[in-house]
Chain A
């Protein structure tokens, strides 16, 4: 139960920069998710918090305590590893008791704590087994059990559910979130799966190439991505991008693509003007914010041809081509189009995003 402050932290391995000028404050009891593709520096960051990696430059504080030079064993943290890292020669009980044993807690207290944690995770009946006898989900629970037995200051999770099958993963997402709320412990959770970040975290820190891109609540990240990377990384299926031209000025600018002429609202136009947007911009629109009509006399602005349709049960993903571009549209199933069928697409102008084509920065 403490805040974690990452202040101007850099990490380099030889000449390779893994983390650059990172500043994050994790609030007390907060569930913060470090999200990014592999190689973005999120795991390095977590390992620096754990003390498993040397901090090349900058400072890390737990509360007011600078922990740069404190070895992992004295940091009072608990970490869950991607591959669980259970001790194969020890039983589930011994695995979970390990941190307590190292604290020289007496045997009755250890037993009490381990049984408490095992009950919480519903693995009491597995306590005498060895890790080889456990399923992936059970191993993962044991690893979490080892982390929660001793009420650490900070929980560190390194992609703990990445290797579980899809069904169990979705189940564990809910359970981990519940557990964190219950234990009220500051948590840093590393993942490359945007869904985990969106569903579990209080705040998400999106990282890319060692640099923090955006820090905010899942809603902020989803609705107001600061750049093209964040916009494209968060959300499934990913956002569509379309190169457009701005025409007109002042309060009545519009985005032009082919024969689509999308009038922008007054506020949107003003933002583009004050931020000095170039004529050439990139439009970003989520698959949910597109409308599609089948047939040729659709009356919508963009005429397209269906490339492929992917029914998801309730919803349908439709990929449609027009000119050089392709967009994904998500909507409730009404009628099944066949590949090659003509269709029309319209953009919901309130939900669109506009990015600078050179820098990728979002105007809105």
Chain B
């Protein structure tokens, strides 16, 4: 049945008979001289990095193991792992995590789906450049300003969004930020407004890199536009989406400016995500040791989740299967 049984590929070396071989090593190796000076060139950068990022980290661990004294002259008391064990019985701590995950999941899912949708619509449209410029604006804004802006929009006296929701009859009582179930939606909306453009931009960059030929091949194979998007464009977008998700998820764990401005964690802790709680513990109750312990768990989990995400979204094209070559 075979089309041609003579040979298929240029034969590997061994397929030729009578090939000359060299089986021994050279007698003299021209070793490249080690370039030790490179180490010295790197040193200033390494030192600077250590000073600005490593030192606070070490200090954080120190604080988490002590009862930090604020009064001048008093030295910190060794607390061992007390700060950490206390967290197990801290209901606010647990609730902080739950709220944080809820907040982050909401933000991410809305931002990703909306951002990808916007990118697909914008891609190759005539007004692409104009819209990109407009989209950049929310991102340029300081989160604090965005917080104030939305606080005004939600305001129960003159807020436009408040008026809109009230007119639609969906907001039965109280204000947006004063309502336990609406407050979360309120802060998520602010985050979505500010950061969806970033996702859209990253996705747009990704869309430009989707090989046109693959899309065309799939069309010729018989795929419609929707199918084409999901089976060719989306897999090619994975690495870009990973960057977007990583960035946004870490931001969600770090940026609390808008929340502090808008709700301060309220009402009734409905928006008190863990970083907000951490802020309260450290800078309202001034329990710096306990705050450091919370911060440390937050850091660990961020790193852990980052690693997991990277694993899940690993670029499928780069993953080489070593088995299954039957």
Q: A85-B216, A122-B8, A182-B3 are in contact. Are A130 and B221 (CB under 8 A)?
A: no
Contact B219 A125 (CB under 8 A): no
Contact B223 A89 (CB under 8 A): no
For the complex, give the distance between the alpha carbons of A135 and B12 in Å. 12
For the complex, give the distance between the alpha carbons of A85 and B213 in Å. 5
- A55 CB → nearest B CB, Å: 16
- Chain B: which residue is nearest A82 at the CB level? B213
- B2 CB → nearest A CB, Å: 6
- B325 CB → nearest A CB, Å: 6
**Interface size class for chain A?**
35 or more
Contact B218 A98 (CB under 8 A): yes
Contact for A135 among B9, B219, B235, CB less than 8 A: B9
Residues of A within 8 A of B319 (CB): 130
Contact A73 B220 (CB under 8 A): yes
Q: Does B318 contact A (CB under 8 A)?
A: yes
Contact B1 A120 (CB under 8 A): yes
Interface residues of B in 192-246 (CB under 8 A from A): 211, 213-214, 216-224, 227, 231-232, 235-236
- Chain A: which residue is nearest B234 at the CB level? A89
Contact with B along A252-279 (1 / 0, CB 8 A): 0000000000000000000000000000
Contact A102 B222 (CB under 8 A): yes
Contact A125 B223 (CB under 8 A): no
Residues of A within 8 A of B320 (CB): 130, 132-133
Contact B4 A175 (CB under 8 A): yes
Contact A85 B219 (CB under 8 A): no
Interface residues of A in 298-342 (CB under 8 A from B): none
Query: Which of A81, A119, A135: most chain B Cβ within 10 A?
Result: A81
Contact A130 B1 (CB under 8 A): no
Residues of A within 8 A of B235 (CB): 87-89
- B240 CB → nearest A CB, Å: 14
Q: Does A99 contact B (CB under 8 A)?
A: yes
Query: Which of B221, B316, B324: most chain A Cβ within 10 A?
Result: B221
Interface residues of B in 28-63 (CB under 8 A from A): none
Q: Does B14 contact A (CB under 8 A)?
A: no
For the complex, give the distance between the alpha carbons of A158 and B91 in Å. 66
Q: Does B10 contact A (CB under 8 A)?
A: yes
Residues of A within 8 A of B219 (CB): 51-52, 71-73
- Chain A: which residue is nearest B214 at the CB level? A85
For the complex, give the distance between the alpha carbons of A138 and B321 in Å. 17
Contact with A along B130-146 (1 / 0, CB 8 A): 00000000000000000
- A58 CB → nearest B CB, Å: 21
- Chain A: which residue is nearest B11 at the CB level? A167
Contact for A174 among B4, B220, B227, B326, CB less than 8 A: B4
Contact with B along A117-135 (1 / 0, CB 8 A): 0011110010011111101
Contact A73 B224 (CB under 8 A): yes
Contact A137 B223 (CB under 8 A): no
- A281 CB → nearest B CB, Å: 46
**Using a CB–CB distance below 8 Å, which chain B residues touch chain A?**
1-4, 7-10, 211, 213-214, 216-224, 227, 231-232, 235-236, 316-321, 324-326
**Using a CB–CB distance below 8 Å, which chain A residues touch chain B?**
50-52, 71-75, 77-79, 81-83, 85-89, 98-99, 102-103, 119-122, 125, 128-133, 135, 137-138, 141, 146, 156, 165, 167-168, 171, 174-175, 178-179, 182
